[in-house]
A and B are shown apart, each in its own frame.
Chain A
Amino acid sequence: MDGIGIQTLDRDALPISPGELVTSLVLFVLLAHAFAVRPGLFVDQLVGGLVYGLILVLVALGLSIILGLLGVVNFAHGAFFMMGAYLTFQVLTVWGLPFWATLFVVPVVVGLVGIVIERGVLQFVYDEDPLIGLLATFGIALMIDEATRAIWGGSPLSVTTPQILDSSIGIGVTTIARMRLFSVLVSVVVIVAVYLLIERTDFGLSVRAGVLDREMAEFVGVNIPLRFVVMFFIGAAIAGLGGVLRGAELGMDLSMGNQFIILAFVVVVVGGVGSLFGSVVSGILIGEATFLTPLVLRTLSETTNVAALNVSGIGGLMPFLVMIVVLLVRPRGLFGQEGFME
C-alpha cells in the first residue's frame, strides 16, 4: 500500500507531451471563447462549478482517507453526507439553533455515527476482500436511508440560511451569492485543515505511517485501532459538513447520498486512489467540467450555428466522461500510485 500523502506538483511533475499540449490549447481556446461570448454566465458557472466541486471534494476526502487507511470501500459515505444535510434541518428548523451551530454540531454527530459503524461493523471486514466491505457498507447505507425516511419523511426539505448569507456580492460581470462564497471558504478551510493535520502534525505522521505499513507502525507504538476510529470520525464528519453546506444552499432529499457517493468514487478514482491532493484537484476539475461544458458547447453551437453541438443535459454525464478520458490516458488516475488497490 502506498501513502495518502499529499504530493506537491513538483514531486510528481506531470510530463507534458505534444498531445497534451494541443489538448490544453484547444481547451483553453474553447474556454476563452465561452468567456468572451458570455462573461457573466461564465463566471457564474465557474463559481457554481467550484462550489459543487468543493462539496464533491469534501465527500471524496473522507472516502479517500478511509480507503487509503482502512482499505474499505465505504459505500455508506454518501449516507453520512445525506445525514449531514438532514441533521442541518433538525438542528436549524426543529431545534431552532442558529445556523452557525450546525457547522459544529452536525459534523460531530455524523462523526459519532461513523464511529459506531466503524466499531460495530467495519472493524470486522478490514482483512476481507474490498467487495465484502462494499457490500456491508451498502447494507449500512440502505439502513441509514430508510431511517432517514422514517424520521424526516420522503419529501425534500429545505432550511433558511441566516440573513447575512442571503445577499449577493457584485463583481462586475455578475453577482455571487454570499452563501456560495461562504461554502467555498468553509470547504477550503477544511481542506487546508485536513492537509495540515496529515502533513504537519505528529498525529498525521502516525496515520501516514499506518497507511504505509500498518504493522510496523504498531511496532513503533502507534495505536492503530485508535487512529482508525479517529480518521473514520474525521472522514464522516467532513462528509457531514459537506452535507450541511449543500443542504443549507439547496435543501436535502433522500437521493443525495447515493448520487454523491457515486460521484465521490469518480472523484477519488480520477484523482488517483490514495492521493488526497489528487482528490482535491479532480473534485474541482469534475465540478468545473460539469458546469462549464454545457456553456462551452452552447457558445460554440451559437457561434458555429451547429445545433447538434448543444447537447442537452451533457453536464450530468461529464464526471463519467472525464473519468473515461483520464483513466485511458493515465490508468491510475491523475496522481495515483502504482500497485494501490490493483
Chain B
Amino acid sequence: MIAGCSSDSDDSGGQQTTDGDTTDVGTAGSSGPDELHIGVFAPYTGPFAPWGSALTTGSELAKQDLEAEFDVSITLSEYDTETNPSAAQERIQRAVTSDGIDMAHGGISSAVCGSIGSWASDNGVPFITQGASDTLTGESCQPYMFRAYPSNTMMARAVGQPMAEEADSWYLLYTDYVWGQTAQEIIGSVLEENGATVAGTDAVPGPGNQDFTQYINNVENSDADGVAMIIPGLDARAAASQLQNRGLHEELSVMFHQFEDQVMWGLNQEAASMVDLGPTGWINTVEGGEDFKQRVTEQGETDPFSRQYMAYVSTDQAVRAAMRAGSANGEDVRAALEGHEITDSPVNDIVPNSTLKWRACDHQLIQPTHVVQARDESEMTNDPYKQWFEVSKTVAGDQVARSCEETGCSF
C-alpha cells in the first residue's frame, strides 16, 4: 500500500532526536499518538482544482515518509472549500465535529484561510495555512493558525530591490481582494524605498476574472517601464496571455507576484518567457530535494510546484509537532509548533542550508524567499518535469520578514 514510499532519505532513519528549541514536551516519537487524522482543505472543484490535487500529492508523500519513520497511522481527508469562505467554514466544522480530524492545513485564497483559521482557533484545532496575505500573521492572526509559506511582505521585500533595478517606474495591477490589496500596498512602498516609482495602480475584479482589457489599456497608456501582476492563479494566466496578445511583454518588464510556475505551464513557452521577476517561496529549480521532486513527478498529476511543497511541509510539521507533544491534542500541538526550528526533517533536505523556524510571535514560518525569472526559451526543459524558470536571487527569511512589532499580531 505504501509502495511509493521511499525510505532512502538520509535523515529519516531511526529515532527522532530532541528538538533544541522547543521547551515543551516530547522527546521520542515512539511516545506519540498512534493515529492522526489530518484534513486537507483546498478547492477540489472549479478552476483551482489542480491546486487541490497538488496539495493532496504533497500531503500523501509526507504521510508515506512519516508513517515509515514513526509508528503512527495517518489518515488524510480532502475537503473541498471551492474558493468560498462560507463553504470552507462549513467544511472545517464538519471535519472536526463529524469526522474528528486532529489538525488541518491548506487553503488557497486568503479569505478561505482566514475563515478556516478563525474557526479552527476558536475551536482549538491547529491549522497550518498556505495563504500569503499579511493579515493572516498580522492583525488577523489566530492562536491556532500557522503559516507555512512566505508572507506577502517577505516576497515583496525580496523582489523590491531587483524590481527597482529592472525598471524605474512600475504599474501595479492587483486583484481587488485582501491578498491583492495588501500586496499592492507593500510592493508600492518597497518600490519607493528602493528608489523606483509607482506609475499607477488598478484594482481588477476577481478572483475569477478573465477580462483585463481595460486595465491593460491603462498600463499601455502609462509611462511605466514595468508592470507588476499582483493577480492570483488562473487570473494571472489570463492576464499574461492578454499582455502577450498586446505585445506589451516585449515593451515592459513584467513581474508576477507570488509567482507560481504552474500558472505559466498552461501557456506556451513563448508567453512564459515574459516573466522577468517573480518572488516565490519555492520553485522546482530551487536547489535540493531532488528526491522529493522526482516523487511528485511520479505520483502527482502535475509537475512539482510550490503547492506540493507547501502541503509536504505542512503535513510533516503538523505530524512531527504531535509526535513531539506526544499527543494529538490541539493545545499541545500548537505549543509544540510555536517557536520550533525545523531540524531532522525531510524538509531540511528540500530546503537545504537554511534556517526554517516557526516564529512564536506571529506563527510565520521563517524561510528563504526566492526571486525567479524565465529561462530563455531554448533552455526551458520539460524532462523529467517542467523547468522553465530559475532562481535569480534568494534571500534569507529573517532578512525580509516583518519584525514582530511590525506585524500587529497578538494572541
Interface residues of A (CB under 8 A from B): 38, 40-41, 44-45, 48-49, 51-52, 149, 154-156, 158, 166, 168, 174, 177, 179, 249-256, 290-291, 294-295, 312-313, 315-316
Q: Which residues of chain B (226-271) have a CB below 8 Å from chain A?
A: 234, 237-238, 241-242, 245-247, 266
Take A48-B213, A253-B47, A254-B47 as given contacts and tell me if A313 and B234 are in contact as well, using a CB distance cutoff of 8 Å: no
- Chain A residues near B242: list those with CB within 8 A: 250
B46 & A44 in contact (Cβ 8 Å cutoff): no
- Chain A residues near B48: list those with CB within 8 A: 154
- Chain A residues near B45: list those with CB within 8 A: 149, 154
Nearest-Cβ distance from residue B306 to partner chain A, whole angstroms? 17
Interface residues on B, range: 20 to 34
- Chain A residues near B208: list those with CB within 8 A: 253, 255
Query: Which of these, A49, A156, A177, contacts B234 with CB under 8 Å?
Result: A156
Q: A255-B210, A291-B214 are in contact. List 16 more A-B contacts (CB 8 A).
A: A51-B213, A154-B45, A177-B246, A179-B245, A251-B210, A251-B238, A252-B210, A253-B47, A253-B208, A253-B234, A254-B46, A254-B47, A255-B208, A291-B213, A312-B202, A312-B203
- Chain B residues near A38: list those with CB within 8 A: 221
Nearest-Cβ distance from residue B201 to partner chain A, whole angstroms? 8
Q: Which residues of chain B (176-218) have a CB below 8 Å from chain A?
A: 176, 202-205, 208, 210-211, 213-214, 217-218
Nearest-Cβ distance from residue A163 to partner chain B, whole angstroms? 12
B234 & A158 in contact (Cβ 8 Å cutoff): no
User: Can you name the residue of chain B whose Cβ is closest to the Cβ of A155?
Assistant: B47
A156 & B203 in contact (Cβ 8 Å cutoff): no
A250 & B238 in contact (Cβ 8 Å cutoff): yes
User: Can you name the residue of chain B whose Cβ is closest to the Cβ of A256?
Assistant: B210
- Chief secondary structure at chain A's binding surface: helix
Q: Can you give 28 contacting A-B residue pairs, CB < 8 Å?
A: A41-B217, A41-B218, A41-B221, A45-B214, A45-B217, A48-B213, A48-B214, A48-B217, A49-B214, A52-B211, A154-B49, A155-B49, A156-B234, A156-B237, A166-B245, A168-B247, A174-B220, A177-B246, A250-B238, A253-B47, A253-B208, A253-B234, A254-B46, A291-B217, A312-B176, A312-B202, A315-B205, A315-B214
B50 within 8 A of A: yes
- Chain A residues near B210: list those with CB within 8 A: 156, 250-253, 255-256
B221 & A174 in contact (Cβ 8 Å cutoff): yes
Query: Which of these, A52, A251, A254, A312, contacts B213 with CB under 8 Å?
Result: A52
B238 & A158 in contact (Cβ 8 Å cutoff): yes
Take A38-B221, A41-B221, A250-B238 as given contacts and tell me if A154 and B47 are in contact as well, using a CB distance cutoff of 8 Å: yes
Query: Which among B210, B234, B237, B238 has the greatest number of chain A C-beta atoms within 10 A?
Result: B210
- Chain B residues near A316: list those with CB within 8 A: 205
User: Can you name the residue of chain B whose Cβ is closest to the Cβ of A166?
Assistant: B245
- Chain B residues near A312: list those with CB within 8 A: 176, 202-203
B176 & A313 in contact (Cβ 8 Å cutoff): yes
Take A155-B50, A250-B210 as given contacts and tell me if A313 and B205 are in contact as well, using a CB distance cutoff of 8 Å: yes
User: Can you name the residue of chain A whose Cβ is closest to the Cβ of B222?
Assistant: A41
In the bound assembly, the distance between CA atoms of A79 and B81 in angstroms comes to 24
B221 & A44 in contact (Cβ 8 Å cutoff): yes
- Chain A residues near B220: list those with CB within 8 A: 41, 44, 174
In the bound assembly, the distance between CA atoms of A294 and B202 in angstroms comes to 10
Nearest-Cβ distance from residue B122 to partner chain A, whole angstroms? 31
A158 & B241 in contact (Cβ 8 Å cutoff): yes
Q: Which residues of chain B (118-141) have a CB below 8 Å from chain A?
A: none
Those 5 A-B pairs whose CB atoms lie nearest each other, nearest first: A312-B203, A41-B221, A44-B217, A48-B213, A313-B203
- Chain B residues near A250: list those with CB within 8 A: 210-211, 213, 238, 242
- Chain B residues near A249: list those with CB within 8 A: 245
A155 & B217 in contact (Cβ 8 Å cutoff): no
In the bound assembly, the distance between CA atoms of A166 and B246 in angstroms comes to 9
Nearest-Cβ distance from residue A303 to partner chain B, whole angstroms? 15
Nearest-Cβ distance from residue B282 to partner chain A, whole angstroms? 22
In the bound assembly, the distance between CA atoms of A86 and B148 in angstroms comes to 37
In the bound assembly, the distance between CA atoms of A166 and B210 in angstroms comes to 19
Nearest-Cβ distance from residue B175 to partner chain A, whole angstroms? 10
- Chain A residues near B176: list those with CB within 8 A: 312-313
- Chain B residues near A255: list those with CB within 8 A: 208, 210
Task: Scan B5-49; emit 1 where CB is below 8 A from any A CB, else 0.
Answer: 000000000000000000000000000000000000000011111
Query: Which of these, A48, A155, A177, A290, contacts B245 with CB under 8 Å?
Result: A177
In the bound assembly, the distance between CA atoms of A140 and B350 in angstroms comes to 49
In the bound assembly, the distance between CA atoms of A158 and B239 in angstroms comes to 12
User: Can you name the residue of chain B whose Cβ is closest to the Cβ of A252?
Assistant: B210
A40 & B47 in contact (Cβ 8 Å cutoff): no
- Chain A residues near B266: list those with CB within 8 A: 155
- Chain B residues near A51: list those with CB within 8 A: 213
In the bound assembly, the distance between CA atoms of A267 and B151 in angstroms comes to 42
User: Can you name the residue of chain B whose Cβ is closest to the Cβ of A41?
Assistant: B221
Nearest-Cβ distance from residue A294 to partner chain B, whole angstroms? 7
Take A254-B46, A294-B214, A313-B176 as given contacts and tell me if A155 and B202 are in contact as well, using a CB distance cutoff of 8 Å: no
B234 & A155 in contact (Cβ 8 Å cutoff): yes
Nearest-Cβ distance from residue B135 to partner chain A, whole angstroms? 18
